[in-house]
Amino acid sequence: MGFKEHIQPDKLPQHVAIIMDGNGRWAKQKGKLRTFGHKIGVKAVRETVEGAAEIGLKVLTLYAFSTENWNRPQREINALMNLLVDTIHQETPRLIENRIQLRAMGDLSQLPSNCQRQLQKSIDDTADQSGMILNLALSYSARWEILRAVKALAAQVQAGTIRPEDIDEAQFSKHLCTAEFPDPELLIRTSGEQRISNYLLWQIAYSELYFTSCLWPDFTREHLFEALVAYQQRERRFGKISEQVAAL
Ligand code: FPP
């Protein structure tokens, strides 16, 4: 019996975020170029996206390219951008078959123009899909996102449309890229690294963190289901005590 049978449908997280890590190391272990790892990583993206839709998640946010990734060798950046354009182009019909809506968040203006165009086309082409939302974090970092929110609020204060004392968590969240989504209940990181790497810092305040040593190209829907089972075995207390949670 696989992990899927152990998932309780009534306790599914709505939003799962993933840090896809380990493509380079996976390739190196096989004596191949890092870009080969990214290429095979696309298979894991497909597996995970379709597994997440199959199980009924509402939102899946994948960290596909961070602000810091712009500091990689130009050759690797180019390979990643080309892979992104090709993958988004090729996978759009499959997204539609699976009723998946594509979104993207981050400083998208930094992406090469062909990448921006393909992204926008696939976002438009899938806009009517009513199943899961696949949200790609591209040229994204949480500090960039938080600063952007702060600047937007500061401008509103300056314009006199909001008073500083009225800024609360809900107001602030409205200015984040994820404004229309619930915070992720579960954050998964592959490759054995146990850090957050500037990802969704505000939104993961109460997320369950799940680290697996599996390198991203080896990640399958079964690994996703395993993480969901582990999540469901945890007790989420949100600062309360166990007895209070049990009484709910
Ligand atoms: C991390 O591995 C992975 C990335 C920086 C890129 C992720 C991209 C893909 C999986 C392919 C395209 C994605 C989509 C959404 C179509 P790493 O290079 O940091 O690996 P390392 O830590 O072993 O060096």
Which residue, by CA, sits nearest to atom 6 of ligand 1? 64
CA of 121 to the centre of ligand 1 (A): 23
Distance CA 36, CA 112 (A): 21
Instruction: For a ligand 1 pocket test, name from 21, 62, 81, 89 the mutation site with the most ligand atoms within 8 angstroms of its C-beta.
Output: 21
- Check residue 187 and report its DSSP letter: E
pLDDT tens across 107-154, in order? 999 999 999 999 999 999 999 999 999 999 999 999 999 999 999 999
Whose structure tokens read 């190391």? 25
Categorize the per-residue pLDDT at 240 as very low, low, confident or very high, splitting at 50, 70 and 90.
confident
Give how far Cα 204 sits from Cα of 60, 151, 196, 200, 207, Å.
Answer: 14, 21, 10, 6, 5
> Residue 247's pLDDT is what?
83
| Burial degree of 26 (CB within 10 A; 0-12, 13-18, 19+) | buried
Residue ranges with strand state E in the chain: 15-19, 59-66, 101-105, 133-140, 186-189, 208-211
- Check residue 14 and report its DSSP letter: S
Instruction: Please list the residues that pair with 136 across neighbouring strands.
Output: 62, 104
Counting atoms of ligand 1 from 1, which one is nearest the CA of 28?
23
- Check residue 106 and report its DSSP letter: S
Categorize the per-residue pLDDT at 246 as very low, low, confident or very high, splitting at 50, 70 and 90.
confident
Site residues for ligand 1, CB cut-off 6 Å: 20-25, 38, 41-42, 45, 62, 64, 69, 83-84, 87, 136, 191, 216
Helix (H, G, I), strand (E, B) or coil at 63: strand
- CATH (one of 3.40.1180.10, 3.40.50.2000, 3.40.50.720, 3.40.50.1100) for 17-140+186-234: 3.40.1180.10
pLDDT tens across 30-77, in order? 999 999 999 999 999 999 999 999 999 999 999 999 999 999 999 999
Categorize the per-residue pLDDT at 241 as very low, low, confident or very high, splitting at 50, 70 and 90.
confident
Instruction: State mean pLDDT over 5-14.
Output: 97
